[in-house]
Amino acid sequence: MGGQNHPIRGEHRYEQQVTSPDQHEERTGKSLVTTDHEVIRQWAEERGAEPSSVPGSEYGGRPGRLLFDFPGYGGENLEHISWDDWFRTFDERELNFIYQEHKKDGAQSNFFQLENPGRGADR
């Protein structure tokens, strides 16, 4: 697994595009966008986050709403799924991963959003 499986789609005038785990924010608080599996996985693992989905949101045998379960944030209502299932669904939907590494004050950020440029926000 690994690498960017589909191109970043849509207009991202205000987000910095990241295509490798070696790339980082140009300035603290900057929004970033990627489809690179290693970048996403590294970001989540640095925060102790597990790939997850909302139970009951699945369809067609695939996870429904993709999320991350962050420790200490009440994820008991989430279902942990494998990275393979998470990324397969991410790629099939051609989603973009918009995220922050740090807040403007320099603290680590857990902000992320999954974007489907063809439909708006991820379902």
pLDDT tens-digit readout, 104-119 = 999 999 999 999 987 6
Cα 44–chain centre separation: 8
Residue 122 C-beta-side C-alpha neighbours within 13 Å: 22
The residue whose two tokens read 């939907």 is 93
Is-contact 51 83, C-beta < 8 A?
Answer: yes
Of residues 119 and 44, more confidence is placed in: 44
Residue 80 C-beta-side C-alpha neighbours within 13 Å: 8
pLDDT tens-digit readout, 91-106 = 999 999 999 999 999 9
Q: Read off the pTM.
A: 0.83
- Amino acid at position 85, single letter: D
Start-to-end C-alpha separation, the chain: 24
